[in-house]
Structure 1
Amino acid sequence: MKLVIISGRSGSGKSTALQALEDVNFYCIDNLPAPLLPDLVNQILSDPDHPNQLAVSIDARNLHRNLKQFPEIYARLRETEQLDCEILYLDSSETTLLKRYSATRRKHPLSSDTQGLQQAISYEKKLLEPVSDLANIRIDTTRLSLYELRDSIKLRIAQRQEQELSLQFESFGYKHGIPLDVDFTFDVRCLPNPYWLPQLRGFSGQDKPVIEFLEQQPDVQAMLSDIIEFLAKWLPLFEKNNRSYISVGIGCTGGQHRSVFISERLAGHFRTTMDNVQIRHRELN
């Protein structure tokens, strides 16, 4: 049975993630006390007609002592036969979480007369560290719409085959901030920039004029070769270590030209050897 534990700060999209998995036939439980998780798993596995996919949300609504016990609980779960476990952790920037709560006017579960919203959001991050430190899939929902998040959940979890490593390339612009959920980040701002050519400025790295320009640059080809060599060497070791998902960020200044081109080329290369390769252009989206 596949078990996905969903966690993250309030307002980061846990309910949306749970609903997305429910839509693809996961048996879903929200806000389960962490110490009950092993008993729940054992009870479900004892039923001959048990579901093959289970998703459970564990968050800061748990008792604080329960969250501190989570690493031990998770270690026991990983020893359970017939169980494949992974942890999905969602998060957003504190500014975004503040805006979301202000828009909905909901009460944060940790806010009180002595602790305001901003303090509660910061405190929640610390409380969830025992869970977040063990997460093998992370998604930064700061710039994702509800529909993009649902699609991302389905691609990274529901549509991935057992024991198959998923690889995502994400282009971004440094001037808009580094994504919070990437495992590796490659800075391509040293490469020739099409932005400074007026005839190319209005295009993106997906358009033929920019592609032709960058393909002619020796430094671009050398950078591509080095990144491919690095990933080809180390991805198999991550897969052997039971990593199910790797995200690679490719950043340039604005996230329009160089990072898009490099991400497209990398995705094209690794799709020849891997079944689950995804690509996202943050600034173009």
Structure 2
Amino acid sequence: MSAAPALVIVSGLSGSGKSVALKTFEDLGYYCVDNLPAELLPEFVRRLLAGDNPPDRIAVGIDARSLGDLAEVPDVLSQVGAQGLDPRLLFFDTRDEVLLRRYADTRRRHPLSHLGLVLPDAISLERQALRPVRQIADTVLDTSDLNVHQMRRRVLTEFGLSGVGLSLLFESFAYKRGVPPEADFVFDARVLPNPHWDARLRPLSGRDAEVREHLDGDADVVAYVAQVEGFLDTWLPKLRSETRSYATVAFGCTGGRHRSVYLAERFARHFREGGWPEVAVHHRELD
């Protein structure tokens, strides 16, 4: 009998980072649905698991936009548990003054503004409506002092990297915005030919086949990859003897769009194909 799929419920205040989290879960291979009415969750899960190819990871967004009584969420989660799943509730919170600033910066409308409320009152009403959900959350993540990239990384390390053995995170970045402070290994890709100077490749990224083919065919890139691959194949396994759950390998280039992205994707694929238990990718300037 196959193991029950992982189920994460993403909730929290509007503007606190829920959309970033769901997008990250999607990148991690989760089957994602946003703004699902809470009372529909048990039937949604039942139908999903009854399909021919049920997902092994599911993430569902439930928040104040979802019509219905959020006080029913504990009972709804009990019903899901009766189906053999162990749902984990992740709640995103943010201080009111930070939410006000984020809405001012982005000029977004609060989802409860249709009630004719001014923004502070809409935030207060939403916080009150979500209180029953926050009280039963397995994890409450305060994003008041986190930027988008830091939020995404928290999800990657807490949900994408399970801690089964040593998990790897391959990250791309732009040197002009600084080196990721959490990186264990940093490799400089600025010595490699830059696809930015090819007008055909400039709008693309290192995720695109045309850029990959362009870099795959360059002798310097081939030599660089072989040498870094040899280094990582030798030394990353030795970190398994330490009491740590994951390691970050970062590749940097000028803009964080072509060479660094190409290398992060290539090495993530290399270690996945080599049977490494958990591998994730984060492109700081793209994600």
TM-score interval, normalised by the smaller of the two chains: 0.5 to 0.7
Q: The residue matched to 1:84 in structure 2 has which SS?
A: coil
Matched positions, count: 169
TM (norm. structure 2) is 0.55
Q: For 2:115 and 2:65, how far apart are their aligned partners in 1?
A: 17
When the two chains are superposed, the root-mean-square deviation of aligned CA atoms in Å is: 2.3
Q: The residue matched to 1:60 in structure 2 has which SS?
A: coil
61, 82, 85: which one aligns with 2:87 = 85
Is residue 13 of structure 2 the alignment partner of residue 9 of structure 1?
yes
Work out the percentage of aligned pairs sharing the same amino acid.
39
TM superposition shift of 1:135: 0.7
TM (norm. structure 1) is 0.55
TM superposition shift of 1:274: 5.9
TM superposition shift of 1:136: 0.6
Superposed, 1:239-278 pairs within 5 Å as 275-276=244-245
Distance 1:161 1:3, change over 3 A: farther
Q: For 1:277 and 1:87, how far apart are their aligned partners in 2?
A: 23
27, 31, 36: which one aligns with 2:40 = 36
TM superposition shift of 1:76: 1.3
Deviations 1:24-51 (A, max 9, x none): 1011111011111001111111124111
TM superposition shift of 1:148: 0.7
Distance 1:109 1:276, change over 3 A: same
159, 162, 181: which one aligns with 2:161 = 159
Deviations 1:59-99 (A, max 9, x none): 10122x43121111011112222x23100100111000000
Q: For 1:80 and 1:43, how far apart are their aligned partners in 2?
A: 11
Answer yes or no: is the 8 Å Cα contact 2:163–2:246 preserved in 1. no
Answer yes or no: is the 8 Å Cα contact 2:161–2:246 preserved in 1. no
48, 72, 77: which one aligns with 2:75 = 72
Q: For 1:48 and 1:19, how far apart are their aligned partners in 2?
A: 25
103, 106, 111: which one aligns with 1:104 = 106
Superposed, 1:79-158 pairs within 5 Å as 79-81=82-84, 83-112=85-114, 114-158=116-160
Q: For 1:5 and 1:113, how far apart are their aligned partners in 2?
A: 26
Q: For 2:35 and 2:241, how far apart are their aligned partners in 1?
A: 41
TM superposition shift of 1:111: 2.3
Gaps of 5+ in 1: 165-270, 279-285
Residue equivalent to 1:169: none
Residue equivalent to 2:27: 23
TM superposition shift of 1:6: 0.2
Residue equivalent to 1:54: 58
Q: For 2:115 and 2:47, how far apart are their aligned partners in 1?
A: 40
Q: For 1:277 and 1:62, how far apart are their aligned partners in 2?
A: 36
Distance 1:94 1:39, change over 3 A: same
Q: For 2:242 and 2:95, how far apart are their aligned partners in 1?
A: 35
Answer yes or no: is the 8 Å Cα contact 2:91–2:137 preserved in 1. yes
Residue equivalent to 1:243: none
What amino acid is the match of 1:60? A
Q: The residue matched to 1:121 in structure 2 has which SS?
A: helix
Distance 1:138 1:274, change over 3 A: farther
